[in-house]
Amino acid sequence: MKGILRTPIAEDEVRALKAGDVIYVSGLLFTARDEAHKVLLERGEPFPLEGLALFHCGPVVRKRGDGWEVIAAGPTTSMRMESLEPEFLRRFKPRVIVGKGGMGEETLAALSEVGAVYCHFTGGAGALAAQRIKGVREVHHLEELGIPEAVWVFEVERFGPLVVAMDAHGRSLYAEVGAAVETNLEKVLARTKEG
């Protein structure tokens, strides 16, 4: 399936998605890296996050007049947030997580429990991401956390392509590719020995 999800995204919309689907998100996307996860879990959400898209990203931004211009905003490695994400999902219920590299088993379980998906956005595609960001609505904890770690709230239009890599039914493309890679590795190394 290929589709555009508009925030706030409903639980049944993400439960309908399957690993391997390619989607786009329009509406509100907020960033949170390690530090922001900790701060939001400690002090609560600055505005309702339910149904929004959470982006693991430390953007390059530039001040323009009273506002901000997003220069580049690709995803960061999601695994760093693994210890914080299950609780974050349960408490704030973002429906789509956007990042790169995938997450662990506890997050995969939380996705099923809460009703959310983890999507892979092409790592390093910071210019493409910035082009789909139409504006910065708000920024939180900027002074305390600095530009890359702050919570940026972006208005996005057709943000993607996003590959649904971990769905709400316990399926993870990363786990599947990982298993295939293990098998292939054994074959490749066996061939080398014989040669």
Partner 1 sequence: MREGEDFLPITHHLLHVTEMKNELIEGLKEALRRAATVLPADVVRALEAARDREEGPARVQLEAILENVALAREKGVPICQDTGTQTFFVRVGTKFPYLDELREAIPEAVRRATEEVPLRPNTVHPFTRKNPGDNTGRFIPYITWELVPGDSAEIHLLPKGGGSENCCKLVLLTPAKGIPGVKRAVVEHIAACRGLPCPPTVVGVGIGGGADLSLKLGKLALLRPVGTRHPEPEVAALEEELAGMINALGVGPMGLGGKTTVLAVHIEYAHRHPASFPLGIVVQCWADRRAHVLISPKGEISVTGDA
| Binding-site ranges for partner 1 (CB under 8 A) | 20, 22, 57-60, 62, 71-74, 76-77, 79, 100-102, 120, 122-131, 146-148, 161, 163, 165, 173-174, 176-178, 180-182, 184-185, 187-189, 192
Task: Quote the least distance from Cβ 136 to partner 1, whole Å.
Answer: 14
CB-nearer residue toward partner 1: 46 or 101: 101
Cα–Cα distance, 15 to 28 (Å, whole number): 19
User: Is 120 labeled as catalytic in the residue annotation?
Assistant: no
CB-nearer residue toward partner 1: 146 or 170: 146
Extract long-range pairs of 17-20: CB within 8 Å, 24+ residues apart.
Answer: 17/117, 17/164, 17/167, 17/168, 18/164, 18/167, 18/169, 18/171, 19/164, 19/165, 19/166, 19/167, 19/171, 19/172, 19/173, 19/176, 20/163, 20/164, 20/173
Task: Quote the least distance from Cβ 103 to partner 1, whole Å.
Answer: 12
Q: What angle do CA 146, 152, 157 make, to 5 degrees?
A: 150
Q: Are 56 and 102 in contact (CB under 8 A)?
A: no
CB-nearer residue toward partner 1: 18 or 90: 18
Task: Quote the least distance from Cβ 72 to partner 1, whole Å.
Answer: 4
Cα–Cα distance, 103 to 78 (Å, whole number): 6
Task: Quote the least distance from Cβ 127 to partner 1, whole Å.
Answer: 4
CB-nearer residue toward partner 1: 98 or 114: 98
Q: Which residues are tagged catalytic? A: 37
